[in-house]
Structure 1
Amino acid sequence: MRGLLTLLLWLGAHAAGAKPRDALEGQLQTGDIVLHTSRSRQSQAIQAATHSPLSHVGLVEVTPRGAWVVEAVQPVQRVPFTKWRARGVRGHILVLRPRGLDGEHRQRAVEAAKRHLGKPYDWLFGWGDEAMYCSELVRKAYTLGAGLELGRMEPLGSLDIAGLRAQLRERYGRDIPLEQQLVTPASLALDEQLTVIHSDFPEVRGVSL
């Protein structure tokens, strides 16, 4: 009887100390696309250039050990979803899911993204595979893994970079490659092939999210 009481007390203490699971995490599926407002140094520049608070994006992988996010930072890595979410401003997050795409193809997209783990972050936003930036990783993962092209490729010069030329010259030098094609987190968020699963942002389909 004494042994049973000790076991019950231990189980109660263990349950009380266990970290409750994030309610949103239970809704996630492998292949979901998650976006938030990053606290990184370049986040404000991305927000200004795209007129959107969404400055970082990653891909979800759900496993028996919980949900993870594959993201292109320095370097490309895979982190627990709760940690990824906490890094965003105020913990706000947008979750999108490809419409009509089965789990197998979404898993293939994640596997395609994981092939880039360990690669450096691409500060020049190029399109080669030697380095990756966040929205490039997501677009390439779905193109190669599922045959689905997400977001819109657009020239750097088409973004609102008027107030960012000094920063861009520091990065590129005197000749800023205005014709260089890139994909932004905001462009991914506006893709009508994606369904909104969760959003802490007032709008997700307008020009200003």
Structure 2
Amino acid sequence: MLREEKISRPRFFLFFLTGLLLVVLLAAMPDRRPVAAATAPEVREGDIIFHASTSSQSALIRLLTRSPYTHCGLVMRHKGRWLVLEAVQPVKLTPLAAWTARGAGGHYVLKRLKNADAALTPDVLERMRRLGLGMLGRAYDRQFRWSDAKLYCSELVWKLYRRGAGITLCKPQHFRDFNPARPSLAGEAARRYGKNMPPPDEPVVTPAALYDSPLLRIVREE
């Protein structure tokens, strides 16, 4: 009996030390969760997030704007989760981590209103959230028209800021400003629109115009 106790005690301490070592090692390991989840404390409601989309639509947007940033969305906190409200097909809420991983090379840029603390009050954010949720399910606008019946990504973000916060992030351009007849764009524009080319004076807000807004600052870039 005494011999059994002498054998079992070293084993107990061995198991104890092994368990303690595992706890220490796990605590010291770097956090390998998706970057968006790991950096969620840096995110605020109302932030605008940009990336280079890998969709077929992005080719035309890139030609129109000569910018690598072809898609954007509005960061929202909804039902305890960080989500991105985006106009794809259809307008929907996408988990933040999934949204950041979807861009080309996983690259994204998070931007924030420079005076967000003063301008984006809880009441303003609630109004923007309510307006945004009311647009869920609307079809994506492949022809970049200004109507609310269908929406494209930067149009959605621009309108939520304008109507929800009274802030004009950038001045809308017109379709003619992009010179759709130029050789580098004419073929893609003709394929996309056919005989339904937007009117020359159709208002347009592009992801590039939002990205370049002097009212925004970069919070994080990955």
The alignment's TM-score, normalised by the length of structure 1, stands at: 0.81
Deviation at 1:130, TM superposition (A): 0.8
Whole-angstrom distance in 1 between the partners of 2:219 and 2:120: 16
Q: Which runs of 5+ in 2 are unaligned?
A: 1-15
Is the 8 Å Cα contact of residues 30 and 103 (structure 1) preserved in structure 2? no
Deviation at 1:64, TM superposition (A): 6.3
1:55 matched to 2:59: no
Is the 8 Å Cα contact of residues 31 and 107 (structure 1) preserved in structure 2? no
CA deviation vs aligned residue, 1:2-32 (integer Å, no higher than 9, x gap): xxx9xx9xxx7xx99x973633322100110
Give the corresponding residue for 2:208: 186
Instruction: Name the structure with the higher helix share.
Output: 2
Is the 8 Å Cα contact of residues 111 and 220 (structure 2) preserved in structure 1? yes
SS of the counterpart of 2:141?
A: coil
Whole-angstrom distance in 1 between the partners of 2:33 and 2:221: 21
Q: Which runs of 5+ in 1 are unaligned?
A: 201-209
Aligned partner of 1:166 among 175, 187, 191: 187
Give the corresponding residue for 1:126: 145
Deviation at 1:67, TM superposition (A): 1.0
Aligned partner of 2:221 among 196, 199, 207: 199
SS of the counterpart of 1:34?
A: strand
Aligned partner of 1:20 among 7, 27, 33: 33
Q: Structure 1 residues 19 and 178 mapped into 2: Cα distance closer, same or farther (>3 Å)?
A: same
Whole-angstrom distance in 2 between the partners of 1:86 and 1:187: 23
Whole-angstrom distance in 2 between the partners of 1:153 and 1:40: 24
Give the corresponding residue for 1:204: none
Deviation at 1:90, TM superposition (A): 0.9
Give the corresponding residue for 1:207: none
Deviation at 1:50, TM superposition (A): 0.8
Whole-angstrom distance in 2 between the partners of 1:103 and 1:82: 25
Is the 8 Å Cα contact of residues 176 and 201 (structure 2) preserved in structure 1? yes
1:115 matched to 2:134: yes
Report the AA paired with residue 43 of structure 1: S
Report the AA paired with residue 157 of structure 1: R
Is the 8 Å Cα contact of residues 87 and 151 (structure 2) preserved in structure 1? yes
The alignment's TM-score, normalised by the length of structure 2, stands at: 0.76
Report the AA paired with residue 171 of structure 2: R
Report the AA paired with residue 33 of structure 2: P
Is the 8 Å Cα contact of residues 138 and 149 (structure 2) preserved in structure 1? yes
Percent of residue pairs identical: 34
Aligned partner of 1:152 among 171, 196, 214: 171
Give the corresponding residue for 1:30: 45
Deviation at 1:165, TM superposition (A): 1.8
Is the 8 Å Cα contact of residues 151 and 189 (structure 1) preserved in structure 2? no
Deviation at 1:112, TM superposition (A): 1.6
Q: How many residues align?
A: 191
Whole-angstrom distance in 2 between the partners of 1:51 and 1:168: 14
Report the AA paired with residue 106 of structure 1: L
Report the AA paired with residue 210 of structure 2: L
